[in-house]
Chains A and B, each alone.
Chain A
Amino acid sequence: MGGAGIHLTDCAKTFPDGTRALLPLSLEIAPREKVVILGPSGCGKTTLLRIIAGLETPDLEGSVYFDDDDVTGLPIEARRVGMVFQSYALFPTLTVAGNILFPLRLKKVPKEIQETRLAQLASFVGIEGLEHRHIHELSGGQKQRVALARALAVEPRILLLDEPLTALDAALRERLRAELSSLLDQLGVTAIYVTHDQAEAMALADRIVVMDRGAIAQVGTPFEIYEKPASPFVAKFIGAAALIPAHAHDGGIHVQGQRIASYADKRGDVFLVARPEDLVPDDEGPLQGEVTAATYFGDRKRLHITLTDGPPIIVDTPPDTSIDAGDTTRLGLVNDTPRILTP
């Protein structure tokens, strides 16, 4: 299908009511790359996607290039992008076939070619046999597939997906996520996928763009984002990390005066990134805290612990552990080389 690279330069967006939805940001996306824009609700993900789509224009100084084409002033209909909307946005007065073939009919593509394309797309997204249904006769998952097929019918240079799975229930979401991941791999099109769900981002992305209040907080592979969060915001947003204030000196990391691991990169005040899987109850461990709540999940038991003179953290333990709310426990590190965040 062939995908274009995208170059955003200094794209900002101020809405007429004065809302600064995006601060000036620049971003390079390679051809056929799968990029996920991840961030909490209201951080500007949709706005960024709509600027790439051509549904919003960036503030004056910004520019958008697809490969070497300056598309900044082009409206969406001239950009050849496929878009999947969060609400599906299917045409309610048309059938499934009418929806999928809408772009082809606009271009007055011959009937035979339309038929072949319809068959191809329907089988690709797995909706064979539904072609003559009306939209209101479809389930949520089926609507999502039709929306994807319609976006692909444009033969887009770039595929844009705005929280395509958010409206579905949890079980279906997980299944479609896996399916969508493999479809995107087969397509080899440049894809930009917006979500606020980090599991979705991890599963789908070549690279993740983490956004925070209209700005890019970090860009990196899922591994980089998880292992080397660039800021407290990213660490907290990805994997429910707590940040424990620590100090690096004498070739080691110290928390409340206790040496907990060796570390030689830097000196001074740092944070220890503590995710639920990073700490374990350990009678010899260097940290101590009081368990405020314990929740049994079947495969694990999740403890909410407030560290003595420290922040609240979450620790996952084996389900058969005897520690309960009200207990005091000592904690140790699972890993000898902890993740350190320098402020």
Chain B
Amino acid sequence: MSDQTIGAPVHTTRHHVEPKDPAKSLSQRVPFALSRMDASTPYWVLVIAVVLLAVFPFGRLLIAAFGPGIEPFIAELSRSASIRATVNTFDVALWSSFISLGLGGALAFLVGATDMRGKRAVSVAFLLPLMIAPQVTALAWLQLFGPSSALLQSIGLAPPSGSANPIYGRGGIILLLGVQHTALAFITLRAGLRAIPGDVIEAARACGASSWRAFSFVGLPMLAPFLAAAFALCFVSSVGNFGIPALLGMPENYLTLPTLIYQRLASFGTGMIPRVATLAVLVSFIAGIGTIISAFVLARYATRIEADKPLAPFRLGRARLPAELGVWGLNVLLLVAPLTALIAASLLPSYGMPLNAETFTLGNYAEVLFRQDVTTRAFMNSFMLAGSAALLLMMLSLPSGYALSRLSGRRRVVLEALVETPYALPGIVLAIAMILLFIRPLPLVNVSLYGTYGIILIAYLSSFYVLALRPVTAAFSQLDPRLEEAAAMCGAGFWHRFTRVLVPGVLPAAAAGGVLVFLTAFNELTVSALLWSSGTETLGVVLFNFEDGGYTTLASAVAVVTVLVVLTLVALLDSLAHRLPRGTLPWR
């Protein structure tokens, strides 16, 4: 071979060997079914999952709402109860969003733009409410402000017994929705502050503006899209919230759209389905518009993820200590006090007694954890349903996340939007869609899923698919595409490349997605409130029913246990944080 120049590609017939098709040679080593796997399989998995979990339920809902024509739709919406609930929904969602934006904005400013101390701790403390179920928040605040508030009684500040709990009704709902979604506004606005380049503010100061003027003339306009997006996010979450208006509004007959839907179904049964479908479409429409606005604004105006040079922190000077005290005081007020009241209530033999050495009891915990069939079953059910949903979605997210990460252009946008839909839309809407799909036995097999675990599980899969898919897609996108090309060059076929080269790299993300699904499903009330039947109660349902039936101390014990489970999982997930793609964990 001395006549060959080094480096030049040379073909000599003498040495020509039949090139082996790498895919073929591999197909001899894997079972038949797998050998059919090629790069298009994940894509079809994704498409089928999206059709089953997103297109079917909402297609069915739209058909139910508009199938009979537009007149029944209009008629339903012009009923006075519907109008009142719509007005209430807008009313509480708007005001609570202002509260969230005010609190979240102030916190984001202090954490993101000043020299306040202990920022990490503040972030964690204010993001925790995001992980606590709304019905638990509501229950906790009821304990805090009740005339028989154990906590207030212990310090002698309880309102006189017999007076109405001020947290019931419109004001309480607005306050609690505002508190619940403060974390959402906080996260969004902190990201916005991080996108403001520090040297732009410095440039404004070089032009003669003081720090504060520089921030308000130059920084705030750059923050505007994030403010809009944060508002839209809080608004949408409030519109769809069920736990808070259910516990605080229904007892006073103050109804929002989700609670109106629930009440209609609960009092009149499934015969009401066509009419509530109309209301569900209305809720979807309101929430959908908000979601689209926030997604659009963030994509269009907030393209820069993070500035090269962060904002120089404002010196708070003498205001620093008061600001820090204010922040922690607020946290005590919004999080610590209600949770303490909840714990206190769970330690009482019966509602309304003061908590002291004589009254202290762990009886409620023994009752809900070991004695009552309903609660032990509910713990089992919630663990099983949340666990199955987490496992199944983790497995599904691997091929479909891969497919999504390799897509681009319009197809990706459409598929992503469809996957987001069931999660973005209020749970009550999804529940209605599920009832519509499964109220009659499935064709061909003639099995009915209505009233079984199956319908709840499918609803969870549909609703939380995106939670599992997002981190996995991000992780696949971060993998160097050359890794796959190199494996292909070495002769590894698709299935081999996928399982041996790609999947190991994204497992931490898949695990994180699974835990997020578990957390969310475990906390969930809205979907199961409409889909449960005797035997398939979830923790959310049991809590709600206990409180509804006046067993407040038992409800509190259930709530405390769920909070403990959730916090444990959050801590576990947080310890995984360094191995995850950025943005996987909502509280980071």
- Asked if chains A and B come from one complex, the reply is yes
CB pair A90 B200 closer than 8 Å: yes
A321: min CB distance to chain B, Å: 27
Tell me the bound Cα distance from A89 to B308 in angstroms: 11
CB pair B199 A85 closer than 8 Å: yes
A154 partner, pick from B200, B202, B207, B217, beta carbons under 8 A: B207
CB pair B202 A55 closer than 8 Å: yes
CB pair A91 B208 closer than 8 Å: no
Taking CB as reference atom, which chain B residue is nearest A87? B199
Tell me the bound Cα distance from A167 to B561 in angstroms: 57
A147 neighbours in B (Cβ, 8 Å): 203
| Proximity string of chain B (251-264) to chain A, C-beta cutoff 8 Å, 1 when within and 0 when not | 00000000000000
Taking CB as reference atom, which chain A residue is nearest B214? A77
CB pair B200 A77 closer than 8 Å: no
Assess whether A75 is interfacial by the CB under 8 Å rule.
yes
B208 partner, pick from A89, A90, A154, beta carbons under 8 A: A154
A75 neighbours in B (Cβ, 8 Å): 205, 210-211
CB pair A89 B205 closer than 8 Å: no
Tell me the bound Cα distance from A102 to B213 in angstroms: 12
Tell me the bound Cα distance from A276 to B358 in angstroms: 94
B304: min CB distance to chain A, Å: 9
A4: min CB distance to chain B, Å: 15
- Knowing A87-B308, A87-B309, A93-B218, the reply to whether A106 touches B200 (Cβ < 8 A) is no
- In B217-235, which residues have CB < 8 Å from any A CB? 217-218, 221-222, 224
Assess whether A107 is interfacial by the CB under 8 Å rule.
yes
CB pair A53 B206 closer than 8 Å: yes
Tell me the bound Cα distance from A93 to B211 in angstroms: 18
Assess whether A242 is interfacial by the CB under 8 Å rule.
no
Assess whether B209 is interfacial by the CB under 8 Å rule.
yes
- Knowing A87-B199, A89-B199, A90-B200, the reply to whether A106 touches B205 (Cβ < 8 A) is no
B194: min CB distance to chain A, Å: 15
CB pair B208 A77 closer than 8 Å: yes
- Knowing A87-B309, A89-B199, A93-B222, the reply to whether A106 touches B206 (Cβ < 8 A) is no
CB pair B203 A153 closer than 8 Å: no
CB pair B205 A77 closer than 8 Å: yes
Assess whether B491 is interfacial by the CB under 8 Å rule.
no
A101: min CB distance to chain B, Å: 10
The B interface is mostly helix, strand or loop, or mixed, namely helix
- In B158-203, which residues have CB < 8 Å from any A CB? 197, 199-200, 202-203
| Proximity string of chain A (159-177) to chain B, C-beta cutoff 8 Å, 1 when within and 0 when not | 0000000000000000000
B209 neighbours in A (Cβ, 8 Å): 77, 102, 106
CB pair B200 A150 closer than 8 Å: no
CB pair A103 B208 closer than 8 Å: yes
Assess whether A194 is interfacial by the CB under 8 Å rule.
no
Tell me the bound Cα distance from A102 to B206 in angstroms: 10
A76 neighbours in B (Cβ, 8 Å): 202, 205-206
- In B300-320, which residues have CB < 8 Å from any A CB? 308-309, 312
B18: min CB distance to chain A, Å: 43
Tell me the bound Cα distance from A151 to B221 in angstroms: 21
| Proximity string of chain A (59-87) to chain B, C-beta cutoff 8 Å, 1 when within and 0 when not | 00000000000000001110011110101
B128: min CB distance to chain A, Å: 30
Tell me the bound Cα distance from A154 to B308 in angstroms: 26
The contact size tier of chain A is 20 to 34
CB pair B206 A92 closer than 8 Å: no
CB pair B203 A89 closer than 8 Å: yes
A105: min CB distance to chain B, Å: 9
- In A92-140, which residues have CB < 8 Å from any B CB? 92-93, 102-103, 106-107
CB pair B202 A153 closer than 8 Å: no
Output the residue of B205, B208, B221, B222 with the most chain A CB within 10 A.
Answer: B208
B218 neighbours in A (Cβ, 8 Å): 91, 93
CB pair B213 A85 closer than 8 Å: no
Count residues of B near A (Cβ-Cβ below 8 Å).
Answer: 23
Assess whether B204 is interfacial by the CB under 8 Å rule.
yes
Tell me the bound Cα distance from A76 to B222 in angstroms: 22
A150 neighbours in B (Cβ, 8 Å): 203, 207
- Knowing A76-B202, A87-B308, A89-B200, the reply to whether A103 touches B222 (Cβ < 8 A) is no
A102 neighbours in B (Cβ, 8 Å): 204, 207, 209, 217
A91 neighbours in B (Cβ, 8 Å): 200, 203-204, 218
Output the residue of B205, B211, B222 with the most chain A CB within 10 A.
Answer: B205
Output the residue of B207, B217, B221, B309 with the most chain A CB within 10 A.
Answer: B207
Tell me the bound Cα distance from A139 to B208 in angstroms: 26
Tell me the bound Cα distance from A80 to B208 in angstroms: 7
B202 partner, pick from A80, A85, A93, A103, beta carbons under 8 A: A85
Tell me the bound Cα distance from A92 to B304 in angstroms: 12
Tell me the bound Cα distance from A85 to B211 in angstroms: 18
CB pair B197 A89 closer than 8 Å: yes
CB pair A93 B204 closer than 8 Å: no
| Proximity string of chain B (428-467) to chain A, C-beta cutoff 8 Å, 1 when within and 0 when not | 0000000000000000000000000000000000000000
Tell me the bound Cα distance from A154 to B208 in angstroms: 8
Taking CB as reference atom, which chain A residue is nearest B221? A93
A66: min CB distance to chain B, Å: 15
Taking CB as reference atom, which chain A residue is nearest B304? A92
Tell me the bound Cα distance from A55 to B218 in angstroms: 17
CB pair A77 B210 closer than 8 Å: yes
Taking CB as reference atom, which chain A residue is nearest B312? A55
CB pair A92 B208 closer than 8 Å: no
B200 partner, pick from A82, A92, A151, beta carbons under 8 A: A92
A55 neighbours in B (Cβ, 8 Å): 202, 205, 312
CB pair B197 A87 closer than 8 Å: yes
B29: min CB distance to chain A, Å: 49
CB pair B222 A92 closer than 8 Å: yes
A92 neighbours in B (Cβ, 8 Å): 200, 222
B204 neighbours in A (Cβ, 8 Å): 91, 102
CB pair A83 B203 closer than 8 Å: yes
Taking CB as reference atom, which chain A residue is nearest B198? A89
CB pair A103 B203 closer than 8 Å: no
CB pair A77 B197 closer than 8 Å: no
B243: min CB distance to chain A, Å: 39
B203 neighbours in A (Cβ, 8 Å): 83, 85, 89-91, 147, 150
A106 partner, pick from B197, B213, B308, beta carbons under 8 A: B213
CB pair B200 A103 closer than 8 Å: no
A59: min CB distance to chain B, Å: 18
Tell me the bound Cα distance from A91 to B308 in angstroms: 15
Tell me the bound Cα distance from A83 to B208 in angstroms: 11
A136: min CB distance to chain B, Å: 10
Tell me the bound Cα distance from A87 to B197 in angstroms: 10
Taking CB as reference atom, which chain B residue is nearest A92? B222
B207 partner, pick from A53, A87, A93, A103, beta carbons under 8 A: A103
- In A310-339, which residues have CB < 8 Å from any B CB? none
Taking CB as reference atom, which chain A residue is nearest B224? A93
B200 neighbours in A (Cβ, 8 Å): 89-92
Tell me the bound Cα distance from A93 to B222 in angstroms: 7
B208 neighbours in A (Cβ, 8 Å): 77, 80, 103, 106-107, 154
CB pair B205 A151 closer than 8 Å: no
CB pair B206 A154 closer than 8 Å: yes
Taking CB as reference atom, which chain A residue is nearest B200? A89
Output the residue of A76, A103, A154 with the most chain B CB within 10 A.
Answer: A76
B1: min CB distance to chain A, Å: 26
CB pair B206 A77 closer than 8 Å: yes
A88: min CB distance to chain B, Å: 9
A161: min CB distance to chain B, Å: 12
8 A-B pairs (CB sep. < 8 Å) = A76-B202, A77-B207, A77-B210, A87-B309, A89-B203, A91-B204, A91-B218, A147-B203
Given contacts A81-B206, A89-B199, A89-B202, 6 further A-B contacts (CB under 8 A): A75-B211, A87-B197, A90-B203, A92-B200, A93-B224, A150-B207
A residues whose Cβ falls under 8 Å from a Cβ of B: 53, 55, 75-77, 80-83, 85, 87, 89-93, 102-103, 106-107, 147, 150-151, 153-154
Top-9 shortest CB links A-B: A103-B207, A93-B221, A89-B203, A89-B199, A83-B206, A77-B205, A85-B199, A89-B200, A76-B205
